[in-house]
Amino acid sequence: MDLEQIIQATKKQMPLSRWEHTLRVRDMALELAEQQAEIQSHQVELAAILHDYCKFWSDEQLVAWIQEKSLPEELLLYNKEIWHGPVGAEVAREKWGVLEEDVLNAIRYHTTGRPNMSVLEKIIFLADYIEPGRQFPGIDEIRKWAKLDLDQALLQSLENTIMFLIRRKQKVYPLTFITRNYYLDRVK
Ligand code: DGI
Ligand code: FE
Ligand code: FE
Ligand code: FE
């Protein structure tokens, strides 16, 4: 499969504003990747382009994929915002023939994170969080850490998201807590 084809198809899945977010995530991820050894820019680009592929799919379509592809049923008990990553990874494999497990995991875990993330997974998670279009209290601190210490930046992002969800009286998917606890130990 050809990246240009994937770019055109992804653009058609979403409104222009979300496509522009996707391009900013790609640029930010490539920038973060410059500071990392052994990271392939074509993988960064592929994961970034595809990370929100399913963001605007209907609930019915997302639920159908979760059930048909035997993704964790537990996903359905939590906020629907967490469905598009796991489904996006399945679509990347089946529709776009993406074989690299690292790229698939970067898409799959870009919202929740998970313990012991690869460098690529961290870069996509953080680029999504700090791309220049994002604005919220504390983001400048996270932007600074992203250049210095990916784990510290991850921890702060996860804590920020958890607090945001709690303030809004929303449920938190257990993996988000598990990931936060894992990185809390890692940065000590
Ligand atoms: O798709 P994006 O908006 O670019 O970003 P994302 O995939 O990281 O989605 C983040 C949204 O998901 C954010 O507004 C918080 C929301 N969310 C809802 N429940 C959970 C959750 N995020 C995490 N990490 N864990 C949850 O349980
Ligand atoms: Fe997303
Ligand atoms: Fe995110
Ligand atoms: Fe995103």
Question: Domain coordinates of the chain in residue numbers?
Answer: 3-136
Ligand 1 site, residue 176, Cβ cutoff 6 A: yes
Q: How far is the CA of 146 from the centre of ligand 4 (A)?
A: 17
With a 6 A CB cut-off, is 52 part of the ligand 1 pocket?
A: yes
Q: For 51-101, how does the pLDDT look when each residue is reduced to its tens digit (9 = 90+)? A: 999 999 999 999 999 999 999 999 999 999 999 999 999 999 999 999 999
> For the purposes of burial, counting CB atoms within 10 Å of the CB of 53, is it exposed (0-12), middle (13-18) or buried (19 or more)?
buried
For ligand 1, say whether the CB of 131 is within 6 Å of any of its atoms. Answer: no
State which H helix or E strand residue 114 sits in: none
- Report the b/e string of 55-65 with b at 16+ CB within 10 A: bebeeeebbeb
The highest-level CATH class for domain 3-136 is mainly alpha
With a 6 A CB cut-off, is 157 part of the ligand 1 pocket? Answer: no
Nearest CA to ligand 1 atom 7: 111
- The ipTM estimated for the assembled molecules is 0.95
For the question of whether the overall pTM of this predicted structure is more than 0.90, the answer is: yes
